Amino acid sequence: MTATATGTPATATTASPYQSYVYAYPHKTAYRPLPDRPALRTLWADEPKDALSLYLHVPFCEVRCGFCNLFTRIGAPDGLTTAYLDALDRQATAVREALEDGGRGRDGAGGRGGLRFATAAFGGGTPTFLTAAELTRLCDIAEHRMGADLRAVPLSVEASPATATADRLAVLAERGATRLSLGVQSFVDSEARAAVRPQRRADVEAALARVREARIPVLNIDLIYGIDGQTDATWLHSLDAALAWRPEELYLYPLYVRPLTGLDRRRGGPDPAWDAQRLRLYRLGRDHLLAHGYTQQSMRMFRRADAPPQGADDYACQTDGMIGLGCGARSYTAGLHYSFDYAVGMHEIRGIIDDYVSRPAADFARAEHGRRMTPDEARRRHLLQSLLQAEGLDTDDYRARFGAGPADHFGPELDRFAARGWLADDGPGSPRLRLTPEGLAHSDAIGPELFSPAVRAAMAAYERK
């Protein structure tokens, strides 16, 4: 996801703290068709398979919010969700066979006995766009086709207020969901409309009540700041409305206006006043949540201090050993990140989904879009994903992984961050490299500054569709 008009990461000289939300690196706009279409069994042959992450992508929503550039389509014609689940089943079967045929992993494990999933997630789109019966089938694909024990591992599911119905939530609770993330964005109806997210607060509150009644252990509420017409008072109003439900987690997202989205009309160059508004509201929200017993995990993520542990942190699913199923999902091995084609425009998304559901099983046994990971890219990915977490980077772990310290590889970048007051000084020999509170506030500028020149060039050359 990018904030600039061209969709490319801004340079280090750009003053805006809102360059790009780096939720994965490299971004999919740096992926390209793979001419050799490598076989999955070869890609995964030497990968450890005893603690994999599983992600199932559902590319459907009842509406498309004005800020959304995710891979999703509005609604589904009769039969499309069934056809999609059929294709997901075929893909899961092909991927499972490839994983089991890929030989023994580096850890000595392999075959049916060595294949194990440590985490699972359903995302989109909106997974709860599916009916209760279809969600049951989605869980069956994860369990019976892929072999993931959903009741034994953390399972996170994304939902919207309109689709968080009692019957759907009952299926998810019974099948082992441990976390339900509800995209609320604002408890103020006029702000929701300004973000092109038609909803009423009464319906949001009713959905939150149903989630609590389902007794899914962790409730996450997403909120957005920087919406047109939003003030300090209305932002605090939304925060307090969310806090009334005592959510175990809260994600606070700055609003971005990206190409080809419903709010794209606002795009037109730097907006210092909007930057200042978002930065002010971020600090206000951060301090409010800290005062109410939440701990900050990253720029966006806040966890209630007494919330039950969820195992891996919120970025762990972006590490190697990620199996993504569905036409908008990514998979990660140490040497290659791969997926299907990517688009934001509705016409192109529909075409990609139609292509996906028509594919025979054999098509799913090879990778077709992706980016090879060099040692330099692996170091960058590890640094930025660790540094953007509040706990920071374990420098001893970095040295053990890469044979040198982070300053040996990224000295000039780290010096610039330190000069701006973004790096904490924990004294000589400290085992951690951490951001200061202001550094965390500028996470969306720090991440893009660590992109390699090759990734920047690939993103700049990407043709939006």
420 and 307 in a common domain = no
Select from 286, 301, 318 the last residue of a domain: 318
CB 335 within 8 A of CB 64: no
243 and 100 in a common domain = yes
What pLDDT does 109 receive?
39
Crossing angle for the helix pair 166-174 and 132-140, nearest 10 degrees? 20
Range of the domain at 248: 30-318
- Ramachandran angles phi, psi of 325, nearest 5°: -115, 140
172 and 43 in a common domain = yes
Least confident of 11-15, 170-174, 272-276: 11-15
264 and 178 in a common domain = yes
Instruction: Provide the domain count of the chain.
Output: 2
pLDDT confidence band for 105 (50 / 70 / 90): very low
Dist. CA 294–CA 250, nearest whole Å: 9
In a domain? residue 356: no
Least confident of 76-80, 89-93, 133-137: 76-80
List, for residues 180-189, the tens digit of each pLDDT value. 999 999 999 9
Q: 361 or 20: whose pLDDT is higher?
A: 361
Percent of all residues in the chain with a pLDDT value above 70, rounded to a whole number: 88
pLDDT confidence band for 148 (50 / 70 / 90): very high
What pLDDT does 264 receive?
56
CB 147 within 8 A of CB 169: no
In a domain? residue 282: yes
What pLDDT does 65 receive?
60
State whether the Cα torsion 198-203-207-208 is positive or negative.
positive
What pLDDT does 7 receive?
39
What pLDDT does 229 receive?
92
What pLDDT does 314 receive?
45
CB 168 within 8 A of CB 136: no
The mean of the pLDDT values for the chain is 89
In a domain? residue 358: no
381 and 314 in a common domain = no
302 and 185 in a common domain = yes
CATH number for the domain harbouring residue 409:
1.10.10.920
What pLDDT does 265 receive?
55
Radius of gyration of the chain (CA): 21
What pLDDT does 268 receive?
59
Residue-wise burial string across 240-276, b where 16 or more C-beta atoms lie within 10 A, e elsewhere = ebbbebebbbbbbbbbbbbeebbbbeebeeeeeebbe
Whether the predicted pLDDT of 162 surpasses 70: yes
Name residue 45's amino acid: A
List, for residues 275-298, the tens digit of each pLDDT value. 999 999 999 999 999 999 999 999
Q: How far apart are the first and last CA of the chain?
A: 14
Select from 318, 339, 361 the last residue of a domain: 318
SS3 readout for the chain:
CCCCCCCCCCCCCCCCCCCCCCCCCCCHHHCEECCCCCEHHHHCCCCCCCCEEEEEEECEECCCCCCCCCCCEECCCCCHHHHHHHHHHHHHHHHHHHHHHCCCCCCCCCHHHHCCEEEEEEEECCHHHCCHHHHHHHHHHHHHHCCCCCCCCCEEEEECCCCCCHHHHHHHHHCCCCEEEEEEECCCHHHHHHCCCCCCHHHHHHHHHHHHHHCCCEEEEEEEECCCCCCHHHHHHHHHHHHCCCCCEEEEEECCCCCCCCCHHHCCCCCHHHHHHHHHHHHHHHHHHHHCCEEECECCEEEECCCCCCCCCCCHHHCCCEEEECCCCEEECCCEEEECCCCCCHHHHHHHHHHHHCCCHHHHHECCEEEECCHHHHHHHHHHHHHCECCCEEHHHHHHHHCCCHHHHHHHHHHHHHHCCCECCCCCCCCEECECHHHHHCHHHHHHHCCCHHHHHHHHHCCCC
In a domain? residue 333: no
What pLDDT does 463 receive?
87
State whether the Cα torsion 60-61-64-69 is positive or negative.
negative
220 and 91 in a common domain = yes
Dist. CA 365–CA 363, nearest whole Å: 6
242 and 382 in a common domain = no
pTM reported for the whole predicted model: 0.91
Dist. CA 149–CA 152, nearest whole Å: 5
Q: 337 or 428: whose pLDDT is higher?
A: 337
142 and 75 in a common domain = yes
In a domain? residue 55: yes
385 and 298 in a common domain = no
251 and 129 in a common domain = yes
The neighbouring-strand residues paired with 220 are: 181, 249
What pLDDT does 95 receive?
97
- Ramachandran angles phi, psi of 295, nearest 5°: -110, 145
285 and 163 in a common domain = yes
Q: Which two tokens stand for residue 181?
A: 């993330």
In a domain? residue 393: yes
Dist. CA 93–CA 138, nearest whole Å: 13
pLDDT confidence band for 62 (50 / 70 / 90): confident
Whether the predicted pLDDT of 361 surpasses 80: yes
Whether the predicted pLDDT of 98 surpasses 60: yes
Select from 318, 335, 350 the last residue of a domain: 318
Q: 237 or 308: whose pLDDT is higher?
A: 237
Which position has the token pair 């069956």?
140
What pLDDT does 387 receive?
96
What pLDDT does 357 receive?
95
What pLDDT does 11 receive?
40
CB 248 within 8 A of CB 303: yes
In a domain? residue 327: no
Q: Which two tokens stand for residue 189?
A: 């109806």
Question: How big is the chain, counted in residues?
Answer: 465
pLDDT confidence band for 464 (50 / 70 / 90): confident
CB 9 within 8 A of CB 453: no
CATH number for the domain harbouring residue 227:
3.80.30.20
In a domain? residue 450: yes
Whether the predicted pLDDT of 228 surpasses 80: yes
Non-local (6+) Cβ contacts of 11 within 8 A are: none
Whether the predicted pLDDT of 168 surpasses 90: yes
